[in-house]
Structure 1
Amino acid sequence: MSDRVAAVDCGTNSIRLLIADLVDGRLVEVDRRMTIVRLGQGVDATGAFAPEALERVFAATEEFAAVLQSEDVRRIRFVATSAARDVSNRDEFLAGIEQRLGVRPEIISGDEEAALSFRGATSALDLPAPYLVADIGGGSTELVLGDRTGVRAAQSLDIGSVRLTERHVTTDPTSPAELTAITKDVDALLDTTTVPLHETRALIAVAGTATTVAAVALNLPQYDRAAIHHAILSTDQLREATTWLTTSTRAARSAVPSIHPGRVDVIGAGAVILQRLADRLPLNTLTISEHDILDGVALSLTGH
């Protein structure tokens, strides 16, 4: 009898589902899907979830519930991250999810988010240690340094693709002044990190910002998980992709099949975060992983 589990990760920009079987101590993917819901729409300014954002996330959750009903899932864990931590109407969000999915969402701390991302990203990689896992989300960025024995240092920073875009971007394409403001915010928070970045021997970038930047850097004709997972980018490739993403028009980005429509508006700011982080490391390459917090949440349900 298989031990089938499901993990749901609801972030600032997207909600994602992973259904997996535990086989010989490792996860075997059954289904993985993502919907852009922009739950964090306006949160940086208002401190509350917008009604239309809640409608989007509830609709996506209903779709996930239908998928889960068709599979013999034994355990489900739903985690919510940056956008849900401080909003004034989070009880409405929690109750709406529980009503539709039958499980109470957990609003996890930045430290737990970092640890779960680290576990998911490194479970099937063999890289020189210590390695730094960077999970760039819509509302926050998690930095986790560690090795096979576990996490050495971790921190959640309040910089994300949606947060920075809403805060600074009003023109199309992004103006040099707006790009400077984004970069200044990123650098200011990276300056404060307690994670010893100089110890990093390998950078593993996870989640939608990193995988989308990789798809652009690799000039993929369409989004291809197999080509992106464990791809190695040079810092020159990263810089070239970031330059294009931050100077192109919305129409130009929309015309690239490998960029999800829900990321077109915010991918430039996310790329800046990854670029500025990579610039601080003693490395000339980074590894992209399609495995991230979702895999970490699923692994947490297996007891392994």
Structure 2
Amino acid sequence: MNQFWGLDADPTAQGRIKGARPVAVLDIGSNSVRLVVYERLARSLTLLYNEKSSCALGRGLAQTGRLAYENIDRALTAIQRFALVAQLMKAGEVYILATSAVRDASNSKAFVDAVEATMNAKVEVLSGAAEAHFAALGVVAGIPDFTGIVGDLGGGSLELSSIVDGVDAVGETHELGVIRMQDDAGRSVARAREIARERLARSELLSCKPGGQFCAIGGTWRSMAKMHQVLRNYPLHMVQHYVTKAGDLAKLCDEIVDAATAGKAYPGSDHTSSSRRDLVPFGAAVLGEVLRAGKFDSVLFSAQGVREGYLYGLLPPEERALDPLLQGAEEISILRSRSPAHAEDLIRFTAGFLDAIQVKETAAEERLRKVACYLSDIGWRGHPDYRGEQSVDMVAYGALAGVDHPGRAFLAEALAVRYMGLKHKSISHELMELAGPAANMKARLLGATFRVAYPMSAAMPGVLQRTHFSLEGSRLRLHLPEDLAFLAGEHLAGRLDQLAGVAGIKSSEVVAK
């Protein structure tokens, strides 16, 4: 008899993708052990569960060559719990990835055997080259158009690789992980900076093509990204796709290293978790030297790395070619909208309006318009007075992949107008500035088009496809079929007037014939 109540029952809720089989990744790193369970193996990954335990397996490894037994015990205790979580969540597959500490330790076999027995799955000990490869794939999975150098900073090592046109090459591993740096430098941050400079001097990647964009991955660097956002009053506090000037970040690195060297609190330390606070100065020492060695122009942060890259590598080529943002938005539409089919009608309806007023879209603008259509009805379950704010929050602060921060601001403005009208004040000026004036205007135009569509269709398919727009002189016309002439009331006429005003058109008319 199973010892856990209800373990054999199907735990899947109606708010989950039908037929989705969860997949789990256990990531055994030098600093922490983390279990992540995803809803399913797909191009756009959705988190079901995420937990880490700071076990510091790499502590002292550079000096002894062995994993400390107390750290092994701590890791195995956490992994016992993770085995239960994977079982409770009915993960179909569990992939176990071990990195620097496990591959370098002389006594790792007994630890690996114990992990495999606990999890009932094989441990894959990644080489440095494999770790660099999967880190790069993780970036490609979340930021498909990235080109530049990727750096994944862990507790034991730093992996570097280059990405061009979605393909990675020239992987490097350097003994520059934050725990290793603490040990090698005798906890001297100033000495750690010197060591980083010496070891990075051997990097071919950083010296061959200076400039461009550097993509930073890893928990310590993510902490630094969040600190940087707080210090500059940035309106979004999410790491994925956060971009800043390399010079600004290098300056922060120097300030952190100098403060730590002087025994003072470094800038932003009060916004860092206690488990990362002592590691950040060593991560700053490494990042500052990476940016100097590569002479980078900008830094982009990725919250996706080895785990996501490993799963991305398991997908067939046709699924890897899918757009993660569009897939993710479609899934949200399936789970949250009143009718997913209506989104397809809305895509055609908004495209027809732009054609009528002769507004051309770039491929990137068309992509965001489609995403906005998929997300345009996600707030209907909320209280009428707060549907707009809730929808804006889900878009601006949600877990969508494949969208940069200006794109989030665009989507948020389009949904704010859709739910709250053109005079809404729910989005901060700082957030709107991320998209820029031109994109904000197009977002308002799109939101105003939604406000014309929904009173006609009631969020159901079949109506919008029977209507069309035309521009005759300075008058915008919305054409209805004769059997839908009763829709041409004051409410629809007022919405159409608003849309015409946003588009800079003098007048409008609803025509039924």
Question: What interval of TM-score do these two structures reach, taking the shorter chain for normalisation?
Answer: 0.7 to 0.9
Query: 1:288 — aligned with what?
Result: 301
Tell me, yes or no, if structure 1 residue 100 matches structure 2 residue 118.
yes
State the number of aligned residues.
294
Between the aligned partners of 1:282 and 1:254, the Cα distance in structure 2 is 24
TM-score, reference length from structure 1: 0.87
C-alpha RMSD of matched pairs (Å): 2.6
Tell me, yes or no, if structure 1 residue 194 matches structure 2 residue 211.
no
Query: 1:264 — aligned with what?
Result: 277
Q: Which of the two has greater helix per residue? A: 2
Instruction: Check conservation: 1:121, 1:289, Cα contact below 8 A.
Output: yes
Change (3 A) 1:210 1:225: farther
* Residue 157 of structure 1, aligned match among 174, 177, 182: 174
SS at match of 1:218: helix
Query: 1:218 — aligned with what?
Result: 229
Q: Using the TM superposition, name which of 252-261 and 282-291 deviates more.
A: 252-261
Instruction: Check conservation: 1:77, 1:301, Cα contact below 8 A.
Output: no
Query: 1:81 — aligned with what?
Result: 99
- Write the deviation string for residues 125-178 of structure 1: whole angstroms up to 9, x where unpaired: 15453x1110011110000102234112111111111111112134xxx4xxx5
* Deviation at residue 298 of structure 1 after TM alignment: 2.6
AA in 1 matched with 2:110: E
* Deviation at residue 184 of structure 1 after TM alignment: 2.3
Q: Which of the two has greater strand per residue? A: 1
The residue correspondences of 1:58-207 to structure 2 (distance < 5 A) are 58-127=76-145, 129=147, 131-170=148-187, 174=188, 179=190, 181-195=191-205, 197=207, 198=209, 201-207=212-218
Query: 2:340 — aligned with what?
Result: none
Query: 1:7 — aligned with what?
Result: 25
- In structure 2, list runs of 5 or more residues that go unmatched: 1-18, 321-513
- In structure 1, list runs of 5 or more residues that go unmatched: none
Q: Using the TM superposition, name which of 80-89 and 194-203 deviates more.
A: 194-203
Instruction: Check conservation: 1:134, 1:143, Cα contact below 8 A.
Output: yes
Between the aligned partners of 1:220 and 1:30, the Cα distance in structure 2 is 31
Query: 1:238 — aligned with what?
Result: 249
Q: Using the TM superposition, name which of 229-238 and 62-71 deviates more.
A: 229-238
Between the aligned partners of 1:229 and 1:190, the Cα distance in structure 2 is 26
AA in 2 matched with 1:202: Q
Change (3 A) 1:257 1:2: farther
TM-score, reference length from structure 2: 0.53
* Deviation at residue 208 of structure 1 after TM alignment: 0.6
SS at match of 2:195: helix
Change (3 A) 1:194 1:239: closer
Change (3 A) 1:208 1:40: same
Change (3 A) 1:59 1:255: farther
Tell me, yes or no, if structure 1 residue 276 matches structure 2 residue 289.
yes
Query: 1:44 — aligned with what?
Result: 62
Between the aligned partners of 1:23 and 1:82, the Cα distance in structure 2 is 26
Change (3 A) 1:168 1:274: same
Which is greater in Rg? Answer: 2
